Amino acid sequence: MGSGGRRPAPPGAPRSRDPPRRRAAAEPAWRRRIARNRSISPSSSRLQPRPLRRSFPLLASGFLTLALAACSRDGATAAERVPERVVVLGPSTVETLFALGLGSRVVAADDYTVWPEAAALPRVGGQFNPNFEAITAQAPDLVIIQGEFPELARVCASLGIRLLSLKTDTWAAWEDEVRQLGDLFRVPQAAEDLVRTRRAELAAIPRASTPLPCLLVVGRKPGEAAGLVVVGAGSFLNELLAAAGGRNAFADNPRNYFDLSEEALIRAAPEVIFEFRPGEAESAATETRSAWQRSFPDLPAVRNSRIHVLTEDFILLPGPRMPEIARILAALLQ
C-alpha cells in the first residue's frame, strides 16, 4: 500500500512500516490487555477496575449451556481445565458459587450482586450492559452469564475465553445449575450436599394452614397500582409460594411473568398481595400500600390490609437463599 493509504500513527507513537504493528495498535485496549494478562493468578492484586453503580434487575428462566473450548499452551483443552479466574454476570450464580465454597475463584461480579462476601469484588456491568474492558481486565478463563448477550459471546470467542450461559428461574433449573457448576469445578459432592441441604430447609418451613389466593407483583408503574407485572406458574416465586402454603391467583398462567390487566386483577380478588421491591426503603413500601388503597380499595387484600412489600435485597434471586424467601412468605401468610 502507498503512503497515501496509511493510517496516521497516534501522537507519541514510534513510526513503523511494519503492517502487523499497525494492526495491533488499532486493536481495542481490552483485547491487548487480555493478551498480556492470560497468566495472572487468582490472587493477583494488579488488576482492580473501579466499582460501577449498583442496581437490581429481574432474572429469568430454566436451562444451561456450555460453549467454547480453546486449547491451552500445555495442550489441554479449556473444557478440561478447572477454571481459576471467573467473571460472573448474574447475582444468583455468584451466590451459588460462594455457597459451593468457590468464592475464591470469582474475580469479578456484575453490578447487581448482593452476596455479602462478594462486596469487595470488582464490578463489570450487568447482563444487558456488560463492560467488556472491565471483564477482560481480569484475565478470566471463564465468564458466566445469566441469559444471553451475543456481543459478549463474540468477544469471549475471539479471545479464547469459555462462556457459560445460564437461564435459571425455577427450583429444578437451580439444582441443575448447582450440579453443572459442581462438575465444572470438580466439586460434585459439594454440589449434592448443597442441593440436599436446601431441599431439607425448604421442606422444614411451616406451611400456612389455608392456601389463600395471592398476587405476586414484580413490577408496576411508579406511584400507581397499574401496569402490573405479575408472577405466573413458570417462576421460582410460584414454587416458593406453594412451599409456604399460599396459592398463586394466576397459577393457571404458564408464563414466568406477564402483564396483568385491571379486569383480570378484579376478577381474581386476591386475599394477599406480595410486592417484590428489593433494596427499597420503608418509605417506598409505604407509598406502595397507599397506591393500592387509592386504586383498588375493594380488593380483599386491600380491605384487610394484607399488602406486603418485600424489600430484602435477595428477594428476587433464584439461588441458595430461596428457602429463606419461602420462609419470609410463610411467616406473612400465618
SS3 (DSSP) at 78: helix
Higher-scoring residue by pLDDT: 79, 174:
174
Of all residues in the chain, the percent with pLDDT exceeding 90 is 68
pLDDT of 79 reads: 58
Report the CATH fold assignment for 30-202.
Answer: Rossmann fold (3.40.50)
Q: Which amino acid is at 299?
A: L
Report, as an integer, the average pLDDT of 178-190.
98
Helix (H, G, I), strand (E, B) or coil at 34: helix
pLDDT at 23 > cutoff 80 = no
Q: Averaged over 106-122, what is the pLDDT?
A: 97
- Burial degree of 293 (CB within 10 A; 0-12, 13-18, 19+): middle
pLDDT at 145: 96
End-to-end Cα spacing for the chain: 79
278-302 pLDDT tens trace? 999 888 888 899 999 999 999 999 9
Q: What are phi and psi of 71, to 5 degrees?
A: -85, 140
Q: What pLDDT score was predicted for residue 169?
A: 97
Residue with cell 507519541: 12
Residue intervals in the chain for CATH 3.40.50.1980: 30-202, 213-333
> If one looks up domain 213-333 in CATH, what number appears?
3.40.50.1980
pLDDT in tens, 127-162: 889 999 999 999 999 999 999 889 999 999 999 999
pLDDT (average), residues 309-333: 97
Given a cut of 60, is residue 177 above it in pLDDT?
A: yes
Task: State pLDDT tens for residues 205-247.
Answer: 999 989 999 999 999 887 777 799 999 999 999 999 999 999 9
pLDDT at 106 over 80: yes
Per-residue model confidence (pLDDT) at position 43? 35
pLDDT given for residue 28 in this prediction? 54
pLDDT score for 26: 47
Q: Is 37 helix (H, G, I), strand (E, B) or coil?
A: coil
Amino acid at residue number 159: L
- 58-68 pLDDT, tens digit per residue, is 333 333 333 33
pLDDT at 65: 35
pLDDT of residue 284: 82
Integer CA distances (angstroms), 60 to 6, 16, 218, 279, in order: 48, 50, 12, 19
| pTM, entire model | 0.77
CA pair distance 195, 201, nearest whole angstrom: 10
Q: Does the pLDDT of residue 38 top 50, yes or no?
A: no
Instruction: Name the average pLDDT for the chain.
Output: 82
pLDDT, mean of residues 304-315: 96
Structure confidence at residue 78 as a pLDDT band (50, 70, 90) = low
Q: Are 283 and 311 in contact (CB under 8 A)?
A: no
| Residue ranges in 84-235 assigned as alpha helix (H) | 91-99, 132-136, 150-159, 171-184, 188-203
